[in-house]
Amino acid sequence: MKAEMIAVGTEILLGDIVNTNAQMISLGLDELGIDLFYQTVVGDNPERLREVLDIARRRSDLIITTGGLGPTLDDLTRETIAEAFGKTLVLHKPSLRRITAFFDQIGKDMTQNNVKQAMLPAGCKVLDNDWGTAPGCVFTADGVHVMMLPGPPKECTPMFRTAGMAYLSQLAGGVIVSRRIRIFGMGESAMEDRLHTLMATSTNPTLAPYAKDGECMVRVTAKAHSVQEAQQLLEPAVQQVCDKLGDAVYGVDVDSMEHAVAKLLTEKGLTLSVAESCTGGLLSKRITDVPGASLFYKGGACTYCNEIKQKILGVKQETLEQFTAVSSQTAREMALGIAAVYGTDLGIGITGYAGPDDGEDGTPAGTIYIGISYQGKAQVRRILSPRGRDRARWDAANHALDMILRVAQGRGLV
């Protein structure tokens, strides 16, 4: 099956936003074994969209569009596609009820222009939108499958990953099952080096390495006639990858380091609190991204100035004077202090220069100290993350999560 994607949105052509849906859908199609040959972006213009659709239907079996399903005047994807494929738009009452209920729930009046979001091609399969108002849909016409998804990534991503991919996997024949091995503390090239032979010789399952946001992932994907058969193919391959990567593997089929931390601390019955300076609350935010974090997480303190580090955490004045706020000593006292004040088994203390400016003493931006305390003892790791403020803060939080996993597993830091 030959697929192509069409993103509809003048805001992409103007450079206001990056077309991240393209990568998300590309990865999903790759998992499903569907060949994607073209990605096109076109503006909110019915003539040009029509022309792009006419090109796509001649060369592809599957067209996936994103964007242009909203309530406003320039949202024209639904109407243009229906016309191009000779489909009538009809009111899909369940979708209208969902949209109406949504406005009721948030206590706002629904303006009339929202109704058009529930007008869908006759006979289509509706893809419910649990993350926004505009439903998606998929239909077949003249042998071409057409799937429409909304533009906002927070809606498009979950809709495609659930209902969209489920529909496509039926078209593709057979099943595809993937497992994800997650790695922290080993770079992409080192990882590929260790997996090189395995990757070159594996055909089913296949191995695909990814690097993102300071960590790595290997996706192992098997094609088979049944889920059970796929699982049997996957099992030994996953084991081989884990053996080759050793200590750097922090989880299989876990969503993130914070999910791994939540699972481990809940299982072990350990409690946690965190003190943050340069990360400003990011670590606390990531920990509480996981539902149920209250089972192990008592809370945190963002101590963004020295007086608060002293007052809330009990960091000593002489420590701040002798070593400065950005030092191993301060990180250590922050970690010990927060655990004592919040009464938790584990405590984290993070202090550093996130950037863009270097420290006044010339310490380069990206220098960050991360302390961890456990049962009254503390250890500190120093990192240098020179790729900008956001990345430095993210990396510091990653290291803190890695340290929590290592200490809670009794592995010790490296």
Query: Which residues 194-213 are close enough to bind its own copies by CB under 8 A?
Result: 196, 199-200, 208-213
d(CA 166, CA 176): 10
d(CA 31, CA 121): 28
Which has the closest alpha carbon to 209: 174, 233, 244, 247? 244
CA dihedral 50, 52, 54, 58 (to 10 degrees): -160
Tell me which of 18, 227, 413, 414 binds its own copies, using CB under 8 A. 18
Tell me which of 10, 169, 231, 363 binds its own copies, using CB under 8 A. 10
Tell me which of 19, 95, 256, 398 binds its own copies, using CB under 8 A. 19
- Quick check: 341 binds its own copies (CB under 8 A)? yes
Site for its own copies, residues 81 to 110, rule: CB under 8 A: 102, 105-108, 110
Query: What is the b/e burial string over 388-413, where b = at least 16 CB atoms within 10 angstroms of the residue's CB?
Result: ebebbbbbbbbbbbbbbbbbbeeeee
d(CA 269, CA 214): 28
Tell me which of 139, 184, 250, 342 binds its own copies, using CB under 8 A. 342
Residue 285 beta carbon to its own copies: minimum distance, rounded to whole angstroms? 4
Q: Determine the interface stretch with its own copies among 81-89, 137-145, 229-237, 288-296 (rule: CB under 8 A).
A: 288-296
- Cβ distance to its own copies smaller for residue 284 or 379: 284
- Quick check: 54 binds its own copies (CB under 8 A)? no
8 is written with which tokens? Answer: 């509809």
Tell me which of 90, 252, 312, 340 binds its own copies, using CB under 8 A. 312
Q: Determine the interface stretch with its own copies among 78-86, 228-236, 316-324, 388-396 (rule: CB under 8 A).
A: 388-396
Sign of CA dihedral 289, 292, 297, 303: positive
- Quick check: 310 binds its own copies (CB under 8 A)? no
Q: Determine the interface stretch with its own copies among 41-49, 84-92, 167-175, 401-409 (rule: CB under 8 A).
A: 41-49
Site for its own copies, residues 55 to 74, rule: CB under 8 A: 55, 59, 70-74
- Quick check: 219 binds its own copies (CB under 8 A)? yes
Neighbours of 360 (CB within 10 A): 9
Which has the closest alpha carbon to 4: 84, 74, 92, 65? 65
Backbone phi and psi for residue 387, each to the nearest 5 degrees, phi listed first: -105, 40
- Quick check: 276 binds its own copies (CB under 8 A)? yes
Residue 336 beta carbon to its own copies: minimum distance, rounded to whole angstroms? 17
